[in-house]
A and B are shown apart, each in its own frame.
Chain A
């Protein structure tokens, strides 16, 4: 049996990778994918703990998060599409209206 800590390390690594992706990538779509990665890292943690303690709350949470994530992806992609239609860019660095 693989110890729970392994899963946690994996999920931490995935989460950090997601953060790094969000921070260094410029492409909007890739940022969205990185956010998905972070969410799934969290999912993994939930499942791990659910298995470890033998309660199923964590599994239920994961289902909820998946639904929320898919909805969020829908909204996010719609935003990306709108931005692309208006400005023909997908680069976030070119998109700094707040700082101007």
Chain B
């Protein structure tokens, strides 16, 4: 039997949209509390619905589950029939749960964090809308719907980032993100057009079937895949588009969580996992995907290792982990990428929320032992997050990243090993930077302050999501135990539906090898921890001395590898120059003159025309009669 709820799948989408509409229209009549609960309830209902659907599928479904439901015919012509229709398979179900679950927790947190602040209404309206668009993207069964969801996410990121629209930094950050996401849009539109021009349809199902059956030109598939790769790279702040990740954390904490935890990774990773059929036919796109991912993981890790602002460290940690997901996608380990996405969608919010709680309860203190003593919950949760991110055995990050590394190793004989080696180095670096900011935040001696520190009590809405996230950080790992991965079994039908890949048999006889390679990863991680312990706990004066000796390198990294400056000189300066020239030449010399001439001529004309208005009825009638006579005369002469 099929799951009953599948017929009502549009309900998942409707709840957040209704929430957005209700908050948008009624915000003047409702109190802050009602708005908060309304927004949260909208996402929670979606989550509940997805959860019930998920349980139904797990319990009552023996075979792989993949259904499409069309609800509306959007555009129907002889050549193409575009429907608003939703595709629900195992991948979609997992993504639905992640997006609505994490989204719901963030909503609860935002209720506490944003309480009484400006922009409370707007943040809830926009968050609901953005959840709607992500769900639309995840559920879409054709490229046009994906495109709508994708653009919707862009506009929502822009609105959320520039939430404090009175602050100049926020506005600039919003603009930057908007421009970058428009560029991503542009690339995706190109990819979709290529797809349409070749396959003559937008439907995923048909595109994938056709692409396997016909031996398509490899160049075309590669073009499409490369466009898709760069579109999602731009969206997920991969190299060379990583510069905007820094600006994502300017906005209030709930926005940062939503952006870095969900919107950076979920749409991009999902889209590539969905299009895995196309990617598997283009080895070149796959390798570019993994190289981009690996390079980003490294670059973001270096930036995170030199940044002193915890939020910025976390933003780049998120980017670095998305780099790992790209690597996993690139080596064909699609389910590992989804698994890593799942664990990171929990770890990153965990960090941000614990930092947000620190910010909330003790705004004046940036770092110091006081924080550890006075707000132990944040301290402990941050530690759990740090342990998870650095891949401590039995926590979720351990399983997900090691699986990616192991699958990378098995992907190609030589390249795989090089990738693995770099990946392991990055793991060490990850441990280093996360504990660096941990020690920096909680173990430095604070500057002596005169007045006693006021500690605000946390609201329950702020601490409960934190504990849920912390619990999940433990629990989610159990879904993906190596060789007994429930998630992998669940996702396997999706990735073997069209193409039979041998990526899914990990040979059992390789077990000793796998264990020893994992041991190397743990060893490198321990070295990373040792370094940060030595440098930032035992001898806190050491880093300063090291920095002095390696100033150029350090400058290079802290300036985002001078990528901002590169954009400045390559794009902004020529654009400004061009704009200046066109202002002086075209605007002042040509357009302004025309602008001034037109009213002059109009005035003369109107003065002249004014004389016709005598006000005498007989004059009007005369002209009326004369015109009729002339019209008759014309037709009479013409007919002869």
Contact = CB atoms under 8 A, between A and B. Distances in A.
B616 A96 contact: yes
B621 A22 contact: yes
Contact of A99 (B614, B621, B622): B614
Nearest to B616: A96
A23 interface: yes
B599 interface: no
B617 interface: yes
Contacts of A97: 615
Nearest to B613: A99
B613 A98 contact: yes
Contacts of A93: 616, 618
A88 B615 CA distance: 19
A19 B311 CA distance: 87
Nearest to A95: B617
Contacts of A4: none
Contacts of B615: 96-100
Contacts of B625: 19, 23
A41 B614 CA distance: 30
A75 interface: no
B606 to A, nearest CB: 15
A97 B614 CA distance: 9
| Secondary structure of the B contact surface, majority rule | helix
Interface in B597-640: 613-618, 621-622, 625
Q: Name the residue in B614, B616, B621, B622 with the highest tally of chain A Cβ atoms < 10 Å from its Cβ.
A: B616
B440 to A, nearest CB: 82
Nearest to A93: B616
A96 B613 CA distance: 10
A24 to B, nearest CB: 8
Contacts of A23: 618, 621-622, 625
| Secondary structure of the A contact surface, majority rule | helix
Nearest to A19: B625
A19 B613 CA distance: 21
Contacts, number: 27
Contacts of A92: 616-618
Contacts of B613: 98-99
A99 B616 contact: yes
B154 to A, nearest CB: 55
Contacts of A98: 613-615
B34 to A, nearest CB: 58
Interface string A70-100: 0000000000000000000000110111111
Contacts of B616: 92-93, 96, 99
Nearest to B618: A23
Contacts of A22: 618, 621
Nearest to B615: A99
Interface in A49-82: none
A31 B67 CA distance: 78
A22 B613 CA distance: 19
Nearest to A100: B615
A87 to B, nearest CB: 14
Contacts of A99: 613-616
Contacts of B621: 19, 22-23
B622 to A, nearest CB: 6
A41 to B, nearest CB: 14
Nearest to A92: B617
B115 to A, nearest CB: 64
Nearest to A20: B625
Interface string B217-232: 0000000000000000
A24 B625 CA distance: 13
Interface string A1-39: 000000000000000000100111000000000000000
A98 B622 CA distance: 16
A26 to B, nearest CB: 9
A96 B622 contact: no
A98 B614 CA distance: 7
A80 to B, nearest CB: 13
Nearest to A24: B618
A51 to B, nearest CB: 24
Contacts of B622: 23
Q: Name the residue in B613, B614, B618, B625 with the highest tally of chain A Cβ atoms < 10 Å from its Cβ.
A: B618
A78 to B, nearest CB: 17
B161 to A, nearest CB: 58
Contacts of B614: 96, 98-99
A92 B621 CA distance: 12
A78 B625 CA distance: 26
Contacts of A24: 618
Given A23-B618, A96-B615, 8 more contacts: A23-B625, A24-B618, A92-B617, A96-B616, A98-B614, A98-B615, A99-B613, A99-B616
Interface of B: 613-618, 621-622, 625
Report the 8 A-B pairs with minimum CB-CB distance, sorted nearest first. Answer: A99-B615, A96-B615, A98-B615, A99-B614, A96-B616, A92-B617, A23-B618, A99-B613
17 contacts: A19-B621, A19-B625, A22-B618, A22-B621, A23-B622, A23-B625, A24-B618, A93-B616, A95-B617, A96-B615, A97-B615, A98-B613, A98-B614, A98-B615, A99-B613, A99-B616, A100-B615
